[in-house]
Structures are given as structure tokens and as C-alpha cells.
Amino acid sequence: MAEAAPVAAPNAELLEWPKKDKRRLLHAVYRVGDLDRTIKFYTECFGMKLLRKRDIPEEKYSNAFLGFGPEVSNFVVELTYNYGVSSYDIGTGFGHFAIATQDVYKLVEDIRAKGGIITREPGPVKGGQSVIAFVKDPDGYVFELIQRGPTPEPLCQVMLRVGDLDRAIKFYEKALGMRLLKKVDRPEYKYTIAMLGYAEEQETTVLELTYNYGVTEYTKGNAYAQIAIGTDDVYKSAEVVSLVIQELGGKITRPAGPIPGINTKITSFLDPDGWKTVLVDNEDFLKELE
């Protein structure tokens, strides 16, 4: 009797979807204690543009979207101000955002002249060639300034700390279709980093995951909220995430479907380390911007 042909692994086709999907990082969402103060700092010190601002008095919050280019093509920050809340706990898990600039030294002097706090003076990274500096915004969020040539995406990194780097890499590859662009182990400083994204590091915004030797858990605080990523099919993408969560851990926090009022289709979930991602329907996102 002839052997039966091997059956394709269930869900194998579904798990291929994130690689075919049209995805990009849309924005990072976090909370600030004084919206106008942060807008002033980002526009005057970093050179960002205020793209839009909205006030939702019935929900008692305001938003501002800032970046280096339009939301249809660029990664931006979405700042949230909750009425009457002037400060937040950033926690130990959130690392930094990064901005690419052609002259770190000049940008640092401009920031210093406007009263910005420089936490690391410009200079080469330890054991490397890249010139970097670190600054703090008025709420205590850290921004790394990286010297590099002209780039279509100056707002170039979101860094988060994770307790198991290989698990986190696998999660973002399988659940979100990201590519591992670079992995660097620095045993002399007891950390390993991984850069993941949808295009090369010099061209786009990447997620930088950091593992500090022996540290498996971090506090999340209540300041940083999430990143948003575009997808052509929220429902299919949510199915993939559910499958990957069963394997690697995490949690669906909002099943796929439209948001009441604006009808944009989204789903949201936590990765195995508790970091939140929201998947947003690409067409609905463009309609929101009109």
C-alpha cells in the first residue's frame, strides 16, 4: 500500500501572511505631562513638525502627532495628554527613541542652547565608529542621536528591553513579519541587541530589542503605551498573532474589529515581555488622515 503524501502543516499558509502583507511602523504612542511644552521641545530642539493635534474633551485627553515627514509615509510619535495628569512613570523596560542626523555635535549644541538636558556628550560608541549622543525630553524620555548620512526616516529607532532575546526575535518575525537586520552581542558590557524591521536600518524605523545579561523582567510604568503597525488585513493578521501567542506567549488585548465612532479596524496584543502593539488597517488609516 502506497504511503499517503505528507499533509502540509496546519496554519502553515496563514503563518506566511505577515511576510506578504504590506506593513510598516506607523507611530509610537506615549503619555506626556504638558502637551504644548513637549511640542515646543520637539519642534525647536529636534526639528520635528507638528502634523496634527486633536482635543477630545468628552474623554478628557488631547493628542499631538509629530515627525519629520507626513504620516502617509513616515513614522511619527503620537503624544497623549490626559487632563490633569502632569507626570508618568517611564519604568525600567522602555529604553529610548532615536533620531538620525548628519551632525550630532551641531544638534547637541542647538539642544543645549534651548535648555535641553544632554545625558551623554557626542562621541563614538564604545568599541565602534558610530558617533552618538543622548538627550532627555521634558518628561524624561531618552532620545539617542545617531550621526549618519541623509535618510528618508530620521525618527529611526524604538528601543525596548526584553527578558529573552531569542524568544522576542522569533515573536516579531513570526507574528509581525519583521526581518532580523542585525544582532550584536557585547559580552564586555553584558548585553545583546537585535534590530528588527521591514527595510534596511538606514532607510526606515526599526525596533531595537535589548537583552541585559541575567535580567528577565522589567517594569513597564504607565508612560510608554505602544507601537502601531499597518496591515492590509487586520482579521488575518490577528489570526496569525493568536497562533504565535499560543507558541511563544503574549496576550490579545483587543480582538480584530472596528473602533466605535471612527470605524478604523484594529487589533492589539502584548508580546511575551508585555510590550503592546496595535495593528491598524492600512486603508482605514489613510481615511483617518484625510
Express the helix, strand and coil content of the chain in percent, nearest 5 each: 25, 40, 40
239 is catalytic: no
* 173 annotated to a ligand binding site: no
> For residues 42 and 9, what is the distance between their CA atoms, to the nearest angstrom?
49
| C-alpha distances out from residue 174 to 7, 14, 196, Å | 21, 11, 12
* 96 annotated to a ligand binding site: yes
H-type helices in 140-259, by residue range?
165-176, 234-248
Which class for 191: exposed (0-12), middle (13-18), buried (19 or more C-beta within 10 A)? middle
Residue 89, classed as helix, strand or coil, is coil
Q: Which of 144, 153, 201, 208 is catalytic?
A: 144
> For residues 132 and 56, what is the distance between their CA atoms, to the nearest angstrom?
38
H-type helices in the chain, by residue range?
12-20, 35-41, 104-113, 165-176, 234-248, 282-289
φ, ψ (nearest 5 deg) of residue 165: -65, -45
Annotated catalytic sites, by residue?
A: 144
Q: Which residues does the annotation place in the binding site for Zn(2+)?
A: 78, 96, 144
